[in-house]
Structure 1
C-alpha cells in the first residue's frame, strides 16, 4: 500500500521543478506496552539487576564451600532428568544472549516503529549489521566481570545463526560483556547437534565445564523438557525436579516482548473456577 501511495504522489507532482521524496508512514504515537516495560522501565531494570545479583551471590557460595559435584545443567534420561556431573572441570555459567545478556534496542525500535511481523531475513540482517545498536541487560556487565574474577567463565548459548558468529561476538564485546569465541565460549543455533533446541549444546558444554548457573529469558534456556503448551510449561516449571532450581542455579530474566512466555489463551490464563464477574456493574 505504501508503494502504491508513493507512486500516486509522484504522478500528481509530475512537471514540478522539484519532487520531494515519498515520506514513510509515521511511527505509532505510543511505544507498545511490553516494550515500554522491558526497555524503558526502572522495574524491568531492577528485576534484571536482582537476577544477576542473585546469580553471582549463589555462584560465590557454591565455590566457597566443598567443590560442587553437580552441574546446573540437567539432561534428559530414562525416568527423571539427571544433573550433569562436574568432576574436576573448570567452572562456568551459561547464558542466553538476546534479552538475557543484551537488549536488542535497534531491532526492537524497528519492530515498534514499523509494525512489521517477524521476518527471518530481517532478523538475519540485524544479526549481521546491528552490533552497535545493542546494550547490556542491566546487571550483566558487572555480573560477567565478577564471575571472571572468581574464575568462572561466562558462556553464551544462543539461537543466533552460525553465519553471523563474528558479528555476534562483536555485539557482545560492544555491549561490554567481554570476548567470546565460537565453539569455546559462544554456542550458536545448530552447534553440537544441528538443532535449535538447546539440550544438545548444553550437553556439549557440560562435557567440558562445571556449570554453576544458567541464565535466560525463555523456559527453553534451561531444559528442553520444559517446552510444550503454555499450560504444560507452567506446570512443569513449578514441578520437581525443576521448581527448586529457580533462584539457586537457574535465574530467569523478564521478557514480555516475545517468546514462549506469550501465547496463553483465556483458559490457560484464567481458570474457569477463578473468574469473577462484577454483578453490580454488569448490564
Structure 2
C-alpha cells in the first residue's frame, strides 16, 4: 500500500478549501489576504544572477554534555529534538501543512492559474520583497538537509559524549562516513512522495561541502529520498561559501520554487544574515509585515534548538527589562517576631 495515499487524500481535500479549484469555497481570511498580496507582488524577469552578500553563519555547538560525575548527560535541546514526541509532532505538523500547500499550488498550475515563486530575487529586501520569475518552469520544492530532511543522530551523539566546541573537520568526516547513522525527520518522506506525485520536483540545497556530493547523495538515497543529481536536484556549498542565495537563484533559473523548507532563517533568504541586528531586531525581521505572511504560505520552518543562528542572546536581550517580573513574595519584608514575655524567674509564659 502506498503509505502516502491517506495523506494525499487529506491534502487533496484540503486543496479544495485552500486553492483555486473550487472557487465557491472561501479560503480562511488571513491566508486569502496574504496570498492576494503575494499574487500581486513584483517579480523580476530572468536575468544573470549576482553573487549573494558576504557573511558567515556561526555554528553554536551543543553545550558540554559531560556531567561532573563523568556520565554522559544529553543536553536539553538534544533531548527535545532527537528524543521527544513533541518535536516529532511539530515536524509532522509542518510537513502536513507543506503537503496541503504543494497540492494546492500544483492544482492551480494544472488548471492554468498563475503560480508564483517564493524565492526572493536579486535586489529584493525584506522591506520590499520581490520574487524570482516563474513563467512556465516546472514546479519545485527546495529542502535544506540537516535537521530539516535528516536528523544527524550519529554526529550529535558523538558531540554529546565528547562535549566541547564544534569541529568543522569532524563534521566533514561525518559527511563522508556517517550516512548510515541518520534518520529522516518525521513527515518528510511522505511530503517528498506527495510532492513527486503532484508533479513537483524535489530539490535539496545544503551547506554541506561540494567535495562530499557523492557521499551526501548516497546518504539521501539510503535514508529513503531516492536518487538525486548534483547541480539539478542537489546543490551544495563551495569552499568558503556560507549563504545559499547564489544556489537559490540558480535553482530558480531552472524551476518555479513554490516552497522552501528549513530549520534556519538562512534557509529562506540570506537577507536574514546580511546584517548583525540584536536579538530583538532579528526577531522583528522574521515577523516584519512584508514577509511574515510567507510562513506557512511557501516558507516552512522546522524546530532546531541544537545549533545555528537562533541560539543567540544575553539574559536582558531574551528577556527585555520592561518585561521582567519579580515575585512580590521576594520583595516583602520579613515578618517581625512577636514579643516574648517571661516570668521573673526567666521561664517563658
Q: TM-score, normalised by structure 2?
A: 0.70
Deviation of the 1:182 alpha carbon: 0.8
Structure ID, larger Rg: 2
Distance in 2 of aligned mates of 1:68 and 1:27: 60
**Which residue is 1:14 aligned to?**
none
- Residue 4 of structure 1 corresponds to which residue in structure 2? none
Cα deviation digits, residues 89-108 of structure 1 (max 9, x gap): 00100011000000000000
Residue segments in structure 1 that go unaligned for 5+ positions in a row: 1-24
User: CA separation in 2, counterparts of 1:274 and 1:39?
Assistant: 32
Q: How does 1:104-123 map to 2 (within 5 A)?
A: 104-123=152-171
State how far apart, in whole Å, the 1-side matches of 2:105 and 2:238 are. 31
- TM-superposed deviation, 1:258: 0.4
Contact kept, 8 Å, 1:35 with 1:257, in 2: the verdict is yes
CA change 1:162–1:271 in 2 (3 A) is same
Partner of 2:145 in structure 1?
97
- Quick check: 1:273 aligned with 2:322? yes
What does residue range 243-282 of structure 1 map to in structure 2 within 5 Å? 243-282=292-331
Structure 2 stretches lacking a partner, 5+ long: 1-67, 333-349
Residues in 2 aligned to 1:49 and 1:185: alpha-carbon distance in whole angstroms = 23
Partner of 1:182: 230
Residue of structure 1 in register with 2:210 after alignment: 162
The equivalent residue for 2:99 is: 56
Q: Go from structure 1 to structure 2 and tell me whether the alpha carbon gap of 1:95 and 1:27 turns closer, same or farther (over 3 Å shift).
A: farther
Q: What per-residue deviation string (whole Å, max 9, x for no partner) do you get for residues 134-181 of structure 1?
A: 010000111101101111111100000011100001111111111111
Q: Distance in 1 between matches of 2:254 and 2:294?
A: 22
Secondary structure in 1 aligned to 2:226? Answer: coil
Q: 1:26 to 1:187 in 2, by over 3 A?
A: farther
Q: Map residues 116-135 of structure 1 onto 2, 5 A cutoff.
A: 116-135=164-183
State which of 201, 209, 226 in structure 2 corresponds to 1:153: 201
1:70-81 pair list within 5 angstroms? 70-77=116-123, 80-81=128-129
- What is the CA-CA distance between 1:282 and the residue it aligns to? 4.9
CA distance in 1, matches of 2:152, 2:135: 37
Partner of 2:280: 231
Aligned to 1:31: 74
CA deviations on 1:31-87 (whole Å, 9 max, x unpaired) are 110000000000000000111110110111112124334201112426623111210
- For residue 212 of structure 1, the aligned residue among 258, 261, 276 is 258
Change (3 A) 1:29 1:218: same
**Pairwise CA RMSD of aligned residues?**
1.8
1:271 CA drift (Å):
1.3
**Cα distance in structure 2, aligned partners of 1:159 and 1:48:** 21
Q: How many residues align?
A: 257
* Structure-2 change in CA distance of 1:120 and 1:26 (3 Å): farther
Q: Separation in 1 of the partners of 2:115 and 2:194?
A: 22
Shift of 1:279: 2.9
8 Å CA contact 2:149–2:188 kept in 1: the answer is yes
